[in-house]
Structure 1
C-alpha cells in the first residue's frame, strides 16, 4: 500500500555544505563591518587623506619656487648659474636693503670688493640657510654607482608601503581577534558551531576580512593612480605600477597568514581584556616591517633579507622592485615561500582555533592548544 511521505521529509533543507558555511560567515563579517559607522568613517578619512597627500605632494613639487633674493647689477654675474633662486633686480645696495627690510625678499646679494668672493649677503635677522648652501663652493662629485631614485621619493615610497601594510594588517587583525573573543565570551560561538564546522567558521572570518582588506588596498592603489595622474606625475606612476601590483599580491597572502594566526591567538582567551596577551607577538611582527623599511630603505642587505621573510616580504619585495634591485625570479621565489608559510600557518591556526574555541576560563596554553 502506497503511503505519502512524512511532511518532515518534504522540502526540508539539509545542512549547508562547507563552501556555503564559509560564504555565510564571510558575508556576516563583511555586513557587520559595513554597518559599523566607525569603520566606514575611518575608511573614508583614510581614502581622502591619501588622495590629499598625493595631490598636495604633486602640486608642491610642480609649484615650488626658489628663495626670493634681491641682486644688484655688480653681483648678477655671480648668481646667474646658482639654482633655487627667485631673483629681483636692484639698482644699488640701498635699494636691495630696502627690499629686505620691506619683506619683499628674504635676502640680498650685493657686490662687495672687500669680500673674498666679491659679493656679500644682506638679511634682516639671519641669512636663509638654503641660500648660503646654494652659494657655497662645493667641489664636483663623481659617483661610481649612482642611484636612479630620488632619496626623498625613495623615503616616501617606503613610508607608503610600510604604513599601508601596518594599518590594514593591524586594523583587520585586531578586528578578527575581537570578533572571536566576543563570540566566545557571549557563547554565540556554541550556536554557530552547532550549525557549521569549526574550520568553516575560521575560514569564513578569514575570507570576509581578507575581502575587506583587499578592497581597501585596491581603492588606495586607485587613489594613488588618480592623484599622480591629476598632478602630472606620470614618470613616478610608471615606476610604481609594477611594485604596487606585486604589493597587492604579496599583501593578499600575507594577510591570510596573519588573519589565521590572529583568529587562533584570540581563541586561546575568553575575555577581551586578555587579547593582548596572545596577539602581542603578532602585532610586533606587523610593526617590524614598517620600522625596518623606514630606517633601512637605503640598505640593500636589509631589504633583501626582508623580501624573503614571510612577514616582511609584502613590504620588502615591492620596495626592491621599485628600486630596481630585484632580479625577475626573486619575487616569484619570495611569493612561493610566502604561500608555503601561509598554508602552514592556516593548518596550525586551524588546529589551535578548533582546540581552544570551546575552552572557557583562563588562557589556553599554546602546547595544549596544539595537542588538543
Structure 2
C-alpha cells in the first residue's frame, strides 16, 4: 500500500501537501478558463444583467408628468426632464396625483426655504426632488410599507446568483471527476496526489472561480445602476440594510458553496461515464434549487422566512433576503445562522471525503453510497 492509498493517515498532510493542493486548484482553474461553455455562460450572465438594467429604463414610458400651478414652477420642473401639467388649484393637483393622472405635483409652500414642496403617492423620483431643490419637503400621500420592487427583486437577485453559481461550478466539479475516471487519468493523479488533497484542490479551484465570477457580476450590476442612474431611485433608508445583506452574503455564499461542492464531487465519483451523471447529480441539484424557490415564494417577512434563514441549505439566500426586507435583523441571528451553516458544511465535507475516497477508483458502473462508504 502506497502512502497516497492510506486514508486518514498523515500522508495527506506531509510537507509539500499545501503545494500539491494549490497545483490541483490551479489545474482546475486553468481547465475551466479554457472551457468555451464557461466563457459563454459568463458573457450571457453579464448580458442578462445589462438587459435587466437597460430594458426597464426603455419601457419606463417616457418622462414623469408633474402637476404645477404656474409658469415659473413649470420651468423648474421641465428643467429636470419631466413634463409639466398645468392644474388650476392645489386640490386639483393633489387629486391628479391620487388618481394617477400625474406622477407628482410641485406646489407652493410658504414654510419651505425654496417656497415649493413635492407631493407624490407612494414614491417620488430623486431626480425631480434634486432638480426642484434638496431643501424642498416631500409629502407621500400613501407611503408603501415596503417597496414592492425590492420585495420581488431581493429574493430573485440573491437566489438566482447562488443557484446559477452553485449549479455552474458544481456541475463542473462533477464532470471533471467523472471525465478523469472515464479516461483513467485519475489513476495517474492519485499516484502522485493524496485523494483528499485532490478533492480539496478541485473544490478550492472551483470556489476561487465562483467567488471571482460573483464579484465581477456584482461589480457589473453596481456599475450599471450608477451609469443608468437607477441607484438614485433606491430609498435612502434601504441602503444600510442592502449593504449589510451584501456583506453577509459573501461568507454565507462561501460556506454554502463548500457545503455543496463536496456533494458534487461525490456525485461525479459514484459514476464511471458522463452519460450516468444525471442519476447522481439530481439530488444535489434539488438541494441547490429548493432554497431558491423557497425564498421566491416566501418573500415577505414572517416565521417562514425566519426559519429558512437558519436552515443550512437555505440560509445563504434566506438570511441576506431577510436583511433587505426587514432592515433590522439582530447581529446574533446571522452569526448563529452562519455558525450552523459552517458546522453543517464541515460535517458534509468530511462525509463527502470518505465517499469520494471510496468511489473514485471504482469503474465499470455506478457505485452505491453504501459501497463507497465501506471503501471495499
Q: TM-score range by the shorter chain?
A: 0.7 to 0.9
Equivalent residues in 2 for 1:9-48 (5 A)?
Answer: 17-48=16-47
C-alpha spacing 1:334/1:63, structure 2 compared with 1 (3 Å): farther
Conserved 8 A contact 1:250-1:313: yes
Once the two structures are TM-superposed, the CA of residue 241 in structure 1 deviates from its matched residue by 1.5
Structure with higher Rg: it is: 1
Contact 2:241 2:328 (C-alpha < 8 Å) held by counterparts: no
Question: For residues 32 and 85 of structure 1, do their structure 2 counterparts lie closer, same or farther at Cα, with a shift above 3 Å needed?
Answer: same
Partner of 2:224: 227
- Following superposition, the deviation at residue 271 of structure 1 comes to 1.0
The equivalent residue for 2:349 is 346
Q: Which 5+ residue runs of structure 1 have no aligned equivalent?
A: 1-14, 88-140
Alpha-carbon distance in structure 1 between the residues aligned to 2:256 and 2:183: 30
Tell me the alpha carbon deviations over residues 117-144 of structure 1, each in whole angstroms, 9 at most, x when there is no partner.
Answer: xxxxxxxxxxxxxxxxxxxxxxxx999x
Alignment TM-score, normalising by the size of structure 2: 0.73
**In the alignment, does 2:299 pair up with 1:285?**
no
CA separation of 1:226 and 1:304: change in aligned 2, threshold 3 A: same
Q: Give 1:328's aligned residue.
A: 331
Which residue of structure 2 aligns with residue 361 of structure 1? 364
Change (3 A) 1:66 1:274: farther
Q: 2:162 aligns with which of 145, 161, 165?
A: 165
Shift of residue 262 of structure 1? 0.6
With the length of structure 1 as denominator, give the TM-score of the two structures: 0.73
Check 1:60–1:153 CA distance in 2 against 1; reply closer, same or farther (3 A cut).
farther
Q: Give the secondary structure class of the aligned counterpart of 1:311.
A: coil
In structure 1, distance between residues paired with 2:58 and 2:252: 31
Q: 1:243 aligns with which of 224, 242, 245?
A: 245
Deviation at 1:36, TM superposition (A): 1.5
Equivalent residues in 2 for 1:1-372 (5 A)? 17-57=16-56, 65=64, 81-83=95-97, 84-85=100-101, 147=145, 149-230=146-227, 231-234=229-232, 235=236, 237-323=239-325, 324=327, 326-372=329-375
How far apart are residue 365 of structure 1 and its match?
A: 1.3
Q: Deviations over 1:83-104 (max 9, x none)?
A: 23259xxxxxxxxxxxxxxxxx
How far did residue 368 of structure 1 move? 1.8
| More moved, 286-295 vs 218-227 | 218-227
Give secondary structure in 2 for the equivalent of 1:233: helix
CA distance in 2, matches of 1:73, 1:79: 6
Distance 1:344 1:73, change over 3 A: closer
Write the deviation string for residues 165-201 of structure 1: whole angstroms up to 9, x where unpaired: 1100011111111110010011000000011111111
Seen in structure 2, the aligned counterparts of structure 1 residues 241 and 142 have a Cα distance that, compared at 3 Å, is closer
